Amino acid sequence: MVKKFTIALVLAGLSLLGCAGSRGQHSVDNDLDLGSNAIVKIKQRSQSQSMRTAEVKGDVKVPPNAVTNWRSFFKAPPTVKERSVLEERLKHAHDSGDVDNLLGRARTELALGQLIAAETTFRQVLRHDDENIEALIELASLYLRIKRLNDTFDLLSQAKDAINGADDVGQGVAMKYRYTLALAYLARGDREKGHRILSDLIGVDKTFAPAYATLGQSYLNSGRDSVAEFVIRRGLDRVHDSASLLNLMGVLAERQKRVDEARTWFDKALHATPTYAPALVNRAVLSTQTLEYAAAEQDLLQALALDPLNVEALVALGVVQKRQGNISGAKASFTKAIEVGPEDPYARFNLAVLQADELQRPTEAARLFREVIQMNGATESLKDLARAYVTDLQPPAAR
């Protein structure tokens, strides 16, 4: 018999980094990058336009440094109280064809995890203004989140054309575009292109924490822990309160079996940003490993209150519920995780284990294990466990 096993959630940092889609490579994506000097050129063009406008008014001013504008694109997730306010605002919002109102609505829906509604509203914006650069980039980011890579690259191509044709584009918008493009390349497996763009962004703004975090996560994913640590620490030297970087230091410590140090890093991340769900999930995984199930469940429920579509939190919650004997709750959590993240192998594997060991449904379990074996995102060790289960579930005569 295969030993009963429920895999612990692999500690993860940035949810946007994942496996590429299977629909094929975009035909013109080699030309999507604006180039390493693009942000400087955009700034010069924006300054020139601003100076002309000021001259008309008779009031010449040096425009503010637009680099800081990128921070408005990377807001912390809303707290539970803020979510309630946003939900009420959506309930009482009047339908309007105004582009700015629609864009605000789409962002609110996205913040609340209402991805289908947000997609619909972003599309409404683009029907009114098909060259709205921010809507194009943000919808591309949404598609990246749900692994629709061809759609992501299509929208980024449109965004690049709109940027090149615009008279005045903020530096922050250009940074947001290039960062989203870097994430798309990494998701597709083009690490060299993604890393080059991220390095360029750090060169433009040495306090751009998302670039350090994404670069560090990419090195972690490829097993280059020492390089990852160098990048993450360099980022923390420049951005001391970055929750994503503090969280990744915890991931590094956990991988090196320094559990107490890892917990300290996760605590620091949550002190910096109490709504940072990845750190809540990672701290919960540590609590699960030390059999502190009540603490783990509390962190996971908080993470899901902040981010209801967090696949890692759903899987980890299912693990905790199973270990506490809450089989129906575990089944619901794993099933929800599969609905939210159909390409996540851990959700499918854990549900299969539950079906085999607790619910005595071998046929359903074998089907799920076979699906895990076919998944691109599953590690070889996970596939080997799934194969062992499939063999064990076969009738003796069929082995």
- Model pLDDT for residues 331-351, shown as the tens digit of each residue: 999 999 999 888 889 999 999
3-state helix, strand, coil in the chain (%, to 5): 70, 0, 30
More confident residue, 159 or 2: 159
pLDDT at 19 over 70: no
Instruction: Output the pLDDT for position 210.
Output: 93
Mean pLDDT on 139-154: 92
Which pair of structure tokens corresponds to residue 155? 């929208």
Q: What pLDDT, on a 0 to 100 scale, did the predictor assign at position 293?
A: 95
Q: pTM for this one?
A: 0.79
Confidence at residue 46, expressed as pLDDT on a 0 to 100 scale: 44
Q: How many CA atoms lie within 13 A of 229 on its CB side?
A: 11
pLDDT at 85: 86
For residue 162, how far is the Cα from the chain centroid?
A: 25
For 247-268, write each residue's pLDDT tens digit: 999 999 999 999 999 999 999 9
Q: Which of 261, 260, 357 is nearest to 7 (CA)?
A: 357
The band of 24, judged by pLDDT with boundaries at 50, 70 and 90, is very low
- Evaluate if residue 362 carries a pLDDT over 50: yes
Q: What mean pLDDT is reported for the chain? A: 82
User: Which position has the higher pLDDT, 97 or 99?
Assistant: 99
Q: How far is CA 193 from CA 37, 55, 178, 339, in A?
A: 15, 41, 11, 31
Distance CA 111, CA 142 (A): 11
**Is the distance from CB of 177 to CB of 160 less than 8 angstroms?**
yes
For the cut 50, the answer to whether the pLDDT of residue 60 exceeds it is no
Nearest to 389 by CA among 357, 358, 347: 357
| pLDDT value, residue 35 | 61
Q: How many helices (H) and strands (E) does the chain have?
A: 19, 0
Between 181 and 63, the more confident residue is 181
Torsion over CA: 129, 55, 171, 239 (sign): negative
Contact partners, residue 70, CB within 8 Å, separation at least 6:
171, 172, 175, 176, 179, 205, 208
Which residues are CB-neighbours of 389 under 8 A, at least 6 positions away? 2, 352, 353, 356, 365, 366, 369
Q: How many CB atoms are located within 10 Å of the residue 263 CB?
A: 18
- Residue 74 is predicted with a pLDDT of 67
List the single range of 25-39, 148-162, 230-244 with lowest mean pLDDT: 25-39
Tokens of 150: 């061809």
- What radius of gyration, in Å, describes the C-alpha atoms of the chain? 23
SS3 string, 172-200, reads HHHHHHHHHHHHHHHHHCCHHHHHHHHHH
Q: Is the pLDDT of residue 91 over 60?
A: yes
Count Cα neighbours of 375 within 13 Å in the Cβ-side half-sphere: 27
Q: Which residue would you say has higher pLDDT here, 65 or 247?
A: 247
Work out the average pLDDT over 160-175. 85
pLDDT at 99: 87
**What whole-number distance in Å separates Cα of residue 286 and Cα of residue 289?**
5
Average pLDDT in the 346-366 region? 93
Rounded to whole angstroms, the Cα distance separating 54 from 56 reads 5
List CB contacts of 82: < 8 A, sequence separation 6 or more: none
Alpha-carbon dihedral of residues 257, 258, 260, 264, nearest 10 degrees?
-120
Q: Which of 115, 117, 138, 152 is nearest to 340 (CA)?
A: 115
Torsion sign over Cα 116, 117, 118, 123? positive
Which of 306, 308, 262 lies closest to 287, judged by CA? 262
The H-assigned helical ranges of 256-344 are 259-272, 277-289, 293-306, 311-323, 327-340
Distant-in-sequence, close-in-space partners of 91: CB < 8 Å, separation ≥ 6: none
